[in-house]
Amino acid sequence: MKKYNKITPEGTRDLLFEECLVRRHVEKTLTDVFSARGFNEVVTPGLEFYDVFDPEFSGIGQEVMYKMSDKRGRLVVMRPDSTLPIARLVATRLQNLPKPIRLFYTQPIYRNNTALTGRSDETVQTGIEMLGAQGMRVDLEVIVTAVEALNRCVPNFRFELGHAGFFRALAEQLPISEDQREDIRQAIESKNYAALNTILDGLAPSRQVTAMRSLPRLFGGEEVFDRAASFCLDEKSANTLTYLHDLYRALIQFGLGDKIIVDLGLVQRNDYYTNIVFSAYVEECGDAVLLGGRYDELLKRFDTPMPAIGFAINVDAISKILLGSGKAEKVLPADVLVHGETGFEIQALQYASELVQKGLKCENSIFEERSKALEYAKICGIKRVDCIGNTMESIAIAQDGENYEAT
């Protein structure tokens, strides 16, 4: 039987040194933004019951979830999404808090990407959820928080703004099944014009079909609203477009004119989005580094109806971008290696603790012989060795030559 004890499962990987440093830097940078705006951290279990992510309303296919059973035979999954567990948490433990409830999280999600194509099955996300409030002020605050968070890490991003309700309003006017609606949604999301036309060619010609055919091309600046106005064939679609236009103008006033794009073809798979949706892209990454939107109906599924909005940022993707740019923090050697001569091991440890309290990065020598400690320091790039014995001797290590130099 073949053993897999020296490799990681497909879609996962180990992180080393600089990768860990940059991930922690990104996490701290983002969470500092969130906490400064009054959001409080929560952590949900890595294991949840399958019912929390019921595909009928979550939009997360069961084939995507890592599934197993607990000791009672109940179906559980490794968390594939953070918004749904937070909705469960709010509905069961936080429902009596004053509204709005401001939460943030930093935790991994697990999704089985069957095709992989370079995607990871384990992805660390950090994001916010604001629950119990709706309206323009709330939507603006959440989007501005997203923009500020990205600006702190990768300021060269592109922000896309859409409305889930616009697609739904058009789809409701077409004589199609739920499966056909999903096929259309996938074609629009991927801007696969050939697949979209093949589906729509099977329907009788109508203004609604023409509108749906045009949806993936409705992206750009403010001119998109004029182009889309002719496709508003009912009050619902007209209202969604008006609200989105007002939000867009407010964001332009905030100073996002060079970053924001309107995309009415922005129709993510998550079926719980009901209103505005948004995403952000960075040139160095093919997938969105941020996804979010409003999900006003989701809390009803947990018997605690309230409006809500949030977003998630892909920490791993941003970390990879920073590593590739050369801007990530480097792993530096210790400032000092402390070597205790035989019989002075405890004194050496005490001395090392004193150096750490002074702010130095200090490593303790585990070698019996001084020569081996000096050689180790040279190999590791440690420029100073403090030897503790009857007296303390500080030795500067000449990194480029072969000589040791006492000071």
Binding residues for L-histidine: 81-83, 111, 125, 129, 272-273
**∠ Cα 186 188 192 (to 5°):** 90
- Specify whether the CB–CB gap between 335 and 91 falls below 8 A: no
- Specify whether the CB–CB gap between 11 and 118 falls below 8 A: no
Tracing tokens 């300021």 back to the chain, one arrives at: 155
What gap in Å lies between CA 73 and CA 319, rounded to an integer? 39
From 113, 153, 87, select the one nearest 316 (Cα to Cα).
153
DSSP sequence for 314-347: EHHHHHHHHHHHT-SPPPPPPSEEEEEPTT-HHH
Q: What's the distance, Cα to Cα, between the start and end of the chain in Å?
A: 59
Angle between helices 315-325 and 18-36 (to 10 degrees): 120
Region for residue 125 given its phi and psi (left: phi exceeds 0; alpha: psi -120 to 50; beta: otherwise) = beta
Binding-site sequence positions: 81-83, 111, 125, 129, 272-273
Task: Count CB-CB contacts under 10 A for residue 177.
Answer: 8
Asked if omega into 100 is within 30° of 0 (cis), the reply is yes
What gap in Å lies between CA 244 and CA 166, rounded to an integer? 10
Task: Count CB-CB contacts under 10 A for residue 214.
Answer: 17
